A = this chain, B = another copy of it.
Amino acid sequence: MTLETISTAKAHGGVQGVYRHASAETKTPMTFAVFVPPHEQGAKLPVLWYLSGLTCTHANCMDKGEYRRLAAELGLIVVLPDTSPRGETVPDEKDNWQFGSGAGFYVDATQAPYAENYRMYSYVTKELPAVIAANFPADMSRQGITGHSMGGHGALTIALKNPDTFKSASAFAPIVKPSVAGWSKPALEKYLGADETAWRAYDMVLLIEDGKRFPELLVDQGEADSFLTTGLMPELLVDAAAKAGQKVVLNLREGYDHSYNFISTFMDDHLRWHAARLKA
């Protein structure tokens, strides 16, 4: 596979790059960002995946996430994928920010016309990791995953289904039960069909009910988040985890909203959480 370099810049002693490749999964060009910290020649570094939320691309966290200073210090590669396939050939609902472009929900769609391109689960868990392994100084035996909102949903569902791949998992303000939340339920129905049993594989609460486990999940949630009670509902995760014996650390943060002002504030905590597990 050919990797096109869109830009690279030195930052905090490492390199912040933006790249593009032709994805076999989505059948589109896909753009992603990678930060490689300063390191010794030949070293292989642990990898932290950050999955973004609705409407975002790789660029939101790259610009506003404030991860480079500490990732450089801790020696973490940080990978920021896009949130969906994009382009003229990709079916979309242009006026709907909760579906289609920017709203892939990290699922493999099974329904026409979306099944052809919307394969973000396989893209993020299989295709892009192979690209990272082949092109960056990455130790793929040490991967962690985090994300925000829709990407927090993506991160924790992927971790629960792939506990052998990931050593650490966390989320900022995740959508914990997309099968019931108003902004995600219509998307799951369009991507996966009306039979809700197919949705269980993409819902962290239902995955835990169905027996999936991960050593420990870290969640930060702002209490002034305007989506807290209708779209995010972290208490549903805490309840399901308590019943199932799944360990969850939930930090409610007084006064913080859903924006990168919140994410960047607690980014250091999450980087240290992952580094402690990836470098153990």
Contacts and interface: CB of A to CB of B under 8 A. Distances in A.
A123 to B, nearest CB: 27
The 10 A-B residue pairs whose C-beta atoms are closest, nearest first, are A11-B261, A9-B261, A10-B255, A12-B265, A10-B256, A66-B66, A63-B64, A9-B257, A63-B63, A16-B261
Contact of A264 (B68, B257, B260, B268): B68
Contacts of A256: 9-10
**This chain: how many copies in the complex?**
2
Interface residues on chain A, size class: 20 to 34
A71 to B, nearest CB: 12
A259 interface: yes
Interface of A: 9-13, 16, 63-64, 66, 68-69, 222, 224, 255-257, 259-262, 264-265, 268
A265 B13 contact: yes
A11 B224 contact: no
A56 to B, nearest CB: 13
